[in-house]
A and B are shown apart, each in its own frame.
Chain A
Amino acid sequence: MSTSLMNPAEAPLAVPPPRKARRIPGWAVGALGVAGAVVLLSTTSYLTGVPQLTSTGTIQTAVRLALPILLAALGGLWAERAGVVNIGLEGMMIMGTWGAAWAGYQWGPWAALVAAAVFGALGGLLHAIATVTFGVNHIVSGVAINLLGAGLTKYLSTLIFFPLSNNPRESPAVPKFDTYSASGLSDWLGRLEAQQRVGLSDVAGILRGLVTGVSPLTMLAILFVIGSYLLLWRTRFGLRLRSCGENPVAAESLGVNVYLYKYVAVIASGALAGIGGAALVLNPGQPGYLEGQTNGRGFIGLAAMIFGNWRPGGLLGGAALFGYADGLQLRSGGKTFLALVYGAVLLLAVIVIWQLVRRRWFAAAFGILAAGLLYAVYYSVDEVPSELTTYAPHLVTLIVLGVASQRLRMPAADGVVYRRG
């Protein structure tokens, strides 16, 4: 090679693009985050004397509440990774609840799951037809599907459930899954938890919550998370699917059938959201289908997915955070909520120190201010008004998003209408 030519090794280093290569792999970041959260919670629990923060029951509740959100978020992940924004998750979830109830009361919970997936997938199919084939704005289509899902299920319930349950807004009772526990481990952890040892008991409580009274649905959802990761990031199918969300024109030019992959992704998305609906119906305590049952969980799922940076691990974190905060406020109300505020102060303190180390004075000052404010709240009230605790999950999500530095990155062609040719 002639000397005047550029040798790649000496090629001028391009100006660094804003995003850097990651030195730490994603799973490690996730593990660190989880560890950090556990430490934070057990410290808070110790300092405030509120053991509920890490009790088995709280964790179990969190898991149950997070489940439908997690599944909806996974649905969102599939669609958006293929470049289709899915604001219709709520509608597909509603379709899922109806399908689950309809099949479930007749043939049991497994049939409910399948039917929910099918009904959700129908919603997904409609979304795919509108957005992929007809090039309709994704948000328009999603909004329409939310309306259609709600209208259709109400209509169908009046026709089909009314004669059975004597109530046009409710299905007959649906049989539920049995739950399973790793009993030996669970008992051992239970003893550990009961000893009230700082840190150790907290971890035991959390772990015990995760291995006790587990519904097959929970295991399935975890499988879905792992499966989605493997499928989307480790197979050719996933590569092709994601390429449709990053640069569909390039994908098409390489012989990827973009329409097909978008269809598959959006239908899968609907099916997952539908299963999310089934998770709601099959939750202990739910009679079956109930009008208004999803109550915005599809939207929360969407938020969890964005929160999780369009990644399976991240959205698991988002759903868990929401479920945890919701579980906490439902179970124990104002007091524990205050403990959470205290935890937020601790978190902010850590962040402020980090910012000081990095010599980011402004961010640090902002953090100190926020921490001071929150601490004043913690100090001055005994119990947060119940009107506000109900929405603790919303507040926590907002605060976490506001505090966590925003490095979110959506698929490059997400929401862009793609036309072949």
Chain B
Amino acid sequence: MSTTTPAVVLSGITKRFPGVVANSDVHLSVQVGEVHALCGENGAGKSTLMKILYGMQQPDEGTIEVGGQPVRFRTPADAIKAGIGMVHQHFMLADNLTVQENVVLGAESLHGIGAKARKRILELAEATGLTVDPAVLVERLGVADRQRVEILKVLYRGAKVIILDEPTAVLVPQEVDELFTTLRGMQEQGFTFLFISHKLDEVRAIADSVTIIRRGTTVGTADPKAVSSRQLAEMMVGSELPSPETRESTVTDRVVLKVENLGLVAVEGTRPVLDDIDLVVRAGEIVGIAGVEGNGQTELVETIMGMRKAHHGRVLLGDRDLTRLGTLARREAGIGYIPEDRHRQGLLLTQPLWANRILGHQTRRPVSNGQWLDLAGAKDDTRRIVEEFDVRTPGIDVAAVALSGGNQQKLVVGRELAGDPVLLIASHPTRGVDVGAQALIWDEIKNARARGLAVLLISADLDELIGLSDTIRVMLRGRLVADADPATVTPEDLGSAMTGAGATSAAVAEHAPGGAHARGAELEGE
């Protein structure tokens, strides 16, 4: 399908940040109408390169050509004019505005902000299958819908070259398939895609060509149909592809965590967020929770951690009833907690690493003597974590924000495994983490399990979930609706169960049909 002039050519791009060279002499050429993948480790500089192409950042060196014409983008507005659109790794949506407002923002001159704009959005949605109600507030949308909005935004502006930065990171396989169907359809209509992903299978499934970036510079371009995932990964890191698989079972019959009849209601009188959850995790066992984001996993974890107050039901750790305790007391009782969002919940970004080591352990040795902090102890133990967990950092006095995502996550994992917890609650422990860090985190979780740790694992990465777990429970609309056997289940089966499409495999055992909860029952706002 390639034509003579490439859609986009980046040559010799260099971008420096304080302490980091994010891009150094990068070359990239994208043909019209292709899906061009960009692969690389965390912090390789993929997002930075795309932000440069989108005019959000200015390159220190290098040139950009669009449709054969050299261009200089000072702002995204320039890039938009040149027909380039970008869907960001982290969604760029204003929660408190409606879908329509988010879409038309910045492009009001096209169709105004009223009925005409609405009509155009619906037209676009129709043409591409990205259906979503323009009048609804974005904060009420799930991730998949948000992504639709993001793509609609780009289309609305008439972009022909669309950058998708890790669009699949938060989607379940079915949603990924659907996205790919959409992309292929659009590709036929002449759109060009730049596609970033850590998931190499996906890259091979959708991309027409792939460029690999390592440590800020391009190391080569390949035909994804002609190389294996393993080869791609080796080009990225030069090491072997890790696997989350756990072979031999270490499950004991000692119950560590017992959740009984747990219920949570967000707003009085509305549908429960958690509905009679019963759950048991034994020593040496990893229990995985599968579910589409927004079905109550976050709430379940936070209720077990005591960050939300259960409406009814009990949480027991061993024989001890934790239901009335606060988060700190639960941590002291022996629960480690890897939160789903390390930036928001896991780290104090501007504080040094050793201060981050204290967080959550502020009453326990070795970082504290109860009310007084033991700074020397904290620093020593931080050094230990840095060493044992291979946290790549210039020192323990640098602010956490200075670390790359994978290294931040290793620090968090190290901290949560410190002090010999009996239960680890791990929410998306390897989200957005590169393959090297991912392997290390998997190993550490497996080792701890072998030592008798009970683990409750929540992950959107179904391979990870299937590979690590001893038992998988499927969560839908606040209920545990099915169990799956990780030995036999496939991601596709799991995906169906998660979306409530019904079990398609013997590996998934559905519970009694979950009473269909009415959609309505909403109270008036404000």
Contacts and interface: CB of A to CB of B under 8 A. Distances in A.
Co-complex (A, B): yes
B295 A253 contact: no
A253 B54 contact: yes
A141 B241 CA distance: 53
Given A247-B92, A251-B106, 11 more contacts: A6-B175, A14-B140, A15-B295, A18-B267, A20-B525, A236-B108, A242-B97, A247-B94, A250-B105, A254-B106, A255-B107
14 contacts: A6-B178, A14-B140, A16-B267, A19-B137, A20-B523, A21-B522, A22-B525, A239-B105, A247-B92, A247-B93, A254-B105, A255-B77, A257-B77, A421-B57
B86 A253 contact: yes
B80 interface: yes
A110 B57 CA distance: 47
A255 B106 contact: yes
A16 B106 contact: no
A contact face: mostly helix, strand, loop, or mixed: loop
Interface string A4-37: 1110101111111111111110100100000000
B490 to A, nearest CB: 12
Contacts of A409: 96
A5 B522 contact: no
B174 A24 contact: no
Interface string A239-258: 11011001101111111110
Contacts of B76: 252-255
Interface of A: 1-6, 8, 10-24, 26, 29, 234-236, 239-240, 242-243, 246-247, 249-257, 309, 358, 360, 407, 409, 411-412, 421
B526 A29 contact: yes
B106 A11 contact: no
A15 B294 contact: yes
Contacts of B80: 254-255
B295 to A, nearest CB: 6
B108 A14 contact: no
Given A4-B174, A250-B92, A15 B478 contact: yes
Contacts of B54: 253
Nearest to A9: B131
Interface residues of B, number: 73
Interface in B44-69: 54, 56-58
B395 interface: no
Nearest to A237: B108
B86 A23 contact: no
Interface in B69-102: 75-77, 80, 86, 88, 92-97, 101-102
A407 B499 CA distance: 33
Give the one of B94, B140, B495, B504 with max A CB within 10 A. B94
A27 to B, nearest CB: 12
A254 B181 CA distance: 26
A98 to B, nearest CB: 37
Nearest first, the 10 A-B pairs at minimum CB distance are A255-B77, A254-B106, A236-B108, A246-B94, A22-B525, A14-B294, A250-B92, A247-B94, A14-B142, A255-B106
A15 to B, nearest CB: 5
A12 B499 contact: yes
B268 A249 contact: no
Contacts of A309: 526
B477 A12 contact: yes
Interface in B104-146: 104-109, 112-113, 129, 131-132, 136-137, 139-142, 144-145
B97 A246 contact: yes
Contacts of A250: 92-94, 102, 105
Interface string B256-267: 000000000011
Nearest to A244: B94
B93 to A, nearest CB: 6
Interface stretch (B269-277, B335-343, B384-392): B269-277
Contact of A252 (B56, B97, B132): B56
B187 interface: no
Contact of B526 (A13, A22, A249): A22
B268 A358 contact: yes
A412 to B, nearest CB: 6
B174 A5 contact: yes
Contact of B153 (A2, A4, A12, A254): A254
Interface in B191-232: none
Give the one of A3, A29, A253, A358 with max B CB within 10 A. A253
Interface in B255-311: 266-271, 273, 292-296, 299
A255 B75 contact: yes
B56 A14 contact: no
A102 B295 CA distance: 63
Contacts of A19: 137, 139, 525
